[in-house]
Copies of this chain bind each other. A is one copy, B any other.
Amino acid sequence: MKLEIAVLPGDGIGPEVTDQAIKVLKAIALEFDHMFKFRIADVGAVAIDNYGVPLPEQTLTLCASSDAILFGAIGHPKYDNDPSAKVRPEQGLLKLRKELGLFANIRPVKAYDTLLDKSPLKRHIIEGVDISIYRELTGGIYFGKKELSGDGNMASDLCQYSREEIERITHLAFEAAQNRRGKVTLVDKANVLETSRLWRKVVTEIAKQYSDVEMDFLFVDNAAMQMILNPKQFDVILTENLFGDIISDEASVIGGSIGLLASASVGKKYAMFEPVHGSFPQAKNKGIANPIASILSAALLLEHFELFNEAQMIRIAVDKSLKLHISTPDINANYDTISTSKVGDFIEDFIHNPG
């Protein structure tokens, strides 16, 4: 297969972890006889430094002319505690999602046996957890009309959803459930919010088309509890933008390391793959950043193009690296000298020589 992949390394540890993902994809291309072409562009704080905007026109053009996007991370501390900053790195990501119509954010959350001890949750709670969260990504309150009164004493944000926005991600979630354990849990706040009631209505209608999938409903406050009390109850979680942001970040820590979590953001035409972790600027260029999330994002990319054997090969290599403790210090207290690129090298080698 020929794939043109736009690479947006971004800020902080973004570039160094993305390098490992590229290394791994090149090994896959060689072993499975594919042609992957990588084209690199700026996004985030580095783009603000170079072009004055977090998503330059040429970056967007590159993405729009590629088959897939491999994304690193964005964010820089100089923007974090300045509520008055007009230009922010995060706007680059929001704009990219919006411009490319990436309406569904998909986040697998898995408890790896080798990492159970690192989880803040007790072993019996998380052993075997395997969740896929489908978060609506281009609607809701993050994109609704924002107003600040002239005197600065009154602010508002509008949360809005259309039937169509709900339908398209709902189908994705139910199709995913059919290939998993056959359950979809809708997280909403239908006892209070009008948008949630629309979600519940539309999703309930669509559920009838998937008679092999069990449907469940949870209010978002209860879901935040259940994610801690009994995460094993979840297979596919379907939810709107803000609730998905909160619930998926909460879920991201139960597995013991956010350094392992990958994500996909897909639309009708485009698809982007990125680690869940942020730009972690304190770790930049120290060789301590965990590249696994970025490498597993590459596996999600391959799956998106139905290269299932290739993706599976990456997953096996990752499992092997974890079992052998070929891991960065964040999850490897005993051997703290294994660097970001060493982990990438091991996985690259394993793909070439899967013992």
Known contacts A81-B217, A160-B154; decide if A228 and B254 are in contact (CB<8 Å): yes
Q: Which A102-153 residues sit within 8 Å CB-CB of chain B?
A: 119-122, 125, 141-142, 144, 146-148, 152-153
Interface pick from A45-53, A218-226, A266-274, A283-291: A218-226
Known contacts A125-B120, A155-B161; decide if A224 and B197 are in contact (CB<8 Å): no
Known contacts A153-B162, A160-B155; decide if A225 and B197 are in contact (CB<8 Å): no
How far does the alpha carbon of A190 sit from the alpha carbon of B142 in the complex, in Å? 11
Interface pick from A176-184, A245-253, A312-320: A245-253
Chain copies in complex: 2
Q: Which A185-205 residues sit within 8 Å CB-CB of chain B?
A: 189-195, 197-198, 200-201
**Chain B residues near A122 (CB, 8 Å)?**
119-122
Tell me if A159 counts as interface (CB < 8 A to partner B): yes
How far does the alpha carbon of A81 sit from the alpha carbon of B218 in the complex, in Å? 10
> Do residues B155 and A158 form an inter-chain contact, with CB atoms below 8 A?
no
| Contact for A198 among B144, B155, B164, CB less than 8 A | B155
| Contact for A229 among B88, B120, B142, CB less than 8 A | B120
- A-B pairs with beta carbons under 8 Å apart, 24 shown: A88-B191, A119-B122, A120-B228, A121-B121, A121-B122, A146-B193, A152-B163, A152-B198, A153-B164, A157-B194, A159-B159, A221-B245, A222-B249, A224-B224, A224-B246, A224-B247, A224-B249, A225-B250, A225-B252, A225-B253, A228-B228, A229-B253, A246-B246, A250-B250
**Chain B residues near A355 (CB, 8 Å)?**
none
**Chain B residues near A224 (CB, 8 Å)?**
224, 246-247, 249-250
How many residues from A make CB contacts under 8 Å with B? 60
**Chain B residues near A309 (CB, 8 Å)?**
none
